[in-house]
Structure 1
C-alpha cells in the first residue's frame, strides 16, 4: 500500500507543483532518505540513489547553470528516472533549464518550496520518518498518565476501557481505545495512536460508544503518544505467584524496541485506575534513579547483615 506520495507533501508543506499534469504527484515515496545530487550534477552517476527525493538547493542549481547546454540535458535526463519519487527546489528558485521537459517525459513530480535547503531537509526527514515508520496494531488501550504513555492490554472484557474511563475522569488523557496503532519512529521510540475511525471514542459495555472529547473536553484526549510502559490486566489466578516487591522487571518487544511490562491481577474490590496511576508515577521515579523496591531490598540486606554480626 502506498503510504506517501508527492501529493501528501504538497498538502503537508504547501509545495508548488510545477508539472502541467497533477497525475505525476501520485508517484510513491518509499524511503525517508534524501539526496542532494551534487556529484550527479558533475556527471558522476555510478552510485546515484534514484529512489530518494532529490533536493536541488542553491549550490546544485548554481553549479548546473555553469554547464554547457549539452551537459545540462545529459545531467537532467539522467537525474529524472522512472524510480525518482520527486525533485524539489528550495528557496523558491526558478526551475533550471530542461528540467521540466525531462521530468514530464518520465512522470517525475517537480515541486518548489520557499524553505531554505537546510530547513527543508529537516522538515521532510521528520515527516517521512514518521509516515514511513514500520507500524503494527495491538488490541488494547493507550492513556497518557503524568506524561507517560501507558498501554493497557488484557483479554476481552477484563475492564480495559472502564479503567481508561476512570483514568480520564481523574484528569489523564485518552489516546486510543480497543486498537492501538504503533509505529517505531526511531530506535527505542514507539509512538501509539488511534485509528482515524475510532479516535477519541471509548466503548463501555452496557453503555455503548462515548465521545471522550465531547464529554470531558479537548484536554482529555491527545492524538498520539510515545509508549513508555505496558500494563497487562489478567483475572486473578490463585495458583499464580505475583510479584510483591517489584524487583523483577518484565519486558515486551515491539519491533526492535523493548518496553517495561507490569502484570496486574484483576479481582473485585481492586481500584485499577489508582493502581495504574501509581504504576506510572513509580515508573517515572525509576527513570529518575529512585527505585523504592531496590532501596527496600538494600535496607533489608543491611539489617540481615547487622543481625548476623550481632550473633557473634
Structure 2
C-alpha cells in the first residue's frame, strides 16, 4: 500500500486556518512531501501541471492575483480550481480574495491559510509529510537522550532497562520512551518516540507507574529523539568473551540502517548508568574523529618501533 496522509491530518498537525473544507477532506490523500507553486497555472499554462500536490499560494502568486480585475481573477481561479487538486494553502497571512473563496466553495476544494512565511510553511510541510510517509515500526525497549545522543536500551524483560533509564534521568538525562518505542526512518536517520498514551510514564517493578515529568520536571523528558546508539543489556555470561578494547565495531540494522551497538553485561555492583554515559561520550569522540582504542594501539606500535631501533 502506497504511503500517504490526509489533508485533515495536515490541518491538525500544522494548525492551519480553515477557510473552506472539502466534504471529502477526511479521505483526500497526499502522496508526496513536495508542493506546487501554481504561478504558471494562474496565467493559464497547465502542461505538466502537478495537480496531485498541495497547492501553495505565496506572496508572488498572491500579488499577481491582486493586480487582476475581479472578473479576470475569478476566471483564472475557476480554471485552476477545476483541476483535481487536494487543497490550497495561502501563506504569510495574506487576505483571502472573495473570488477565491467563492470558487473553492463552488468546486468543493479545501482552502487553508497560515501566518507562516511561504518558506517556513513548505519546510514544516516537508518535515511532517516525510515523517508520515516514512518506514515505521515499534520495538520493546527504552529510549533515553544522553549528552544529546539517543540511546536505545534493549534486553530481555526484567533485565533492568527501566531501572537503568531512571538512574540516567536522576543524573540529568532525558526520558523519551519506556517499554515501547515507536521508530520512524526519516531519510538516513532513525527517530524514536513514545506512544501518546504512555508518554512520560515509566514502570518500575516494586514501585509501580511513575510520571517522570511530574517527578523530575519538564527538562527530564523529550517527545522524540534520533537513535544514535543501541545498548544491549544482558546477564553476565562467564563463557562469553566481551569486548575489552573497542576495536570491533558492532551494528544493529533497524529499518535498513546500521546503528552502532554495544553489549553490556549486567552484574551486581556494576554502575550501568555510568557505563552508558561513558559509552555515549566515547561515541561522541569517535564522531569527532578520535578513537581511544586506536590511539592506544598507535602508541604501542610506536613503542615497538622504538625498541626495535634501539636493539639494532
Instruction: Indicate the TM-score class for this superposition, using the shorter chain for normalisation.
Output: 0.7 to 0.9
The answer to whether the Cα contact below 8 Å between 1:18 and 1:112 also exists between their aligned partners in 2 is: yes
Q: Secondary structure at the match of 2:29?
A: coil
Counterpart in 1 of 2:274? 274
Separation in structure 2 between the aligned mates of residue 219 and residue 70 of structure 1, nearest angstrom: 55
User: Relative to structure 2, which stretch is displaced further, 109-118 or 197-206?
Assistant: 109-118
RMSD (CA atoms): 2.9
The answer to whether the Cα contact below 8 Å between 2:251 and 2:259 also exists between their aligned partners in 1 is: yes
Are residues 301 and 46 of structure 1, via their aligned partners in 2, closer, same or farther at CA, if it must alter by over 3 Å?
same
The answer to whether the Cα contact below 8 Å between 1:15 and 1:112 also exists between their aligned partners in 2 is: yes
Correspondences of 1:143-292 after superposition (within 5 Å):
143-185=144-186, 187-292=187-292
Are residues 85 and 146 of structure 1, via their aligned partners in 2, closer, same or farther at CA, if it must alter by over 3 Å?
same
Give CA-to-partner distance per residue, 1:272-310, whole Å, 9 cap, x none: 111111111111122222221111111111122223333
Give CA-to-partner distance per residue, 1:111-167, whole Å, 9 cap, x none: 123333233323333333344433221211111112111111112222111111111
The answer to whether the Cα contact below 8 Å between 1:43 and 1:75 also exists between their aligned partners in 2 is: no
Counterpart in 1 of 2:115? 114
Correspondences of 1:76-155 after superposition (within 5 Å):
76-82=78-84, 84-96=85-97, 99-104=100-105, 107-155=108-156
Are residues 188 and 105 of structure 1, via their aligned partners in 2, closer, same or farther at CA, if it must alter by over 3 Å?
same
The answer to whether the Cα contact below 8 Å between 1:80 and 1:102 also exists between their aligned partners in 2 is: no
Q: TM-score if structure 1 supplies the norm length?
A: 0.86
Structure 2 alignment gaps of length 5 or more? none
Q: Secondary structure at the match of 1:183?
A: strand
Q: TM-score if structure 2 supplies the norm length?
A: 0.86
Aligned length: 309
Q: Secondary structure at the match of 1:244?
A: coil
Separation in structure 1 between the aligned mates of residue 56 and residue 90 of structure 2, nearest angstrom: 6
Structure 1 alignment gaps of length 5 or more? none
Give CA-to-partner distance per residue, 1:143-195, whole Å, 9 cap, x none: 1112111111112222111111111122211111111112233x333221111
The answer to whether the Cα contact below 8 Å between 1:176 and 1:194 also exists between their aligned partners in 2 is: yes
Separation in structure 2 between the aligned mates of residue 240 and residue 9 of structure 1, nearest angstrom: 51
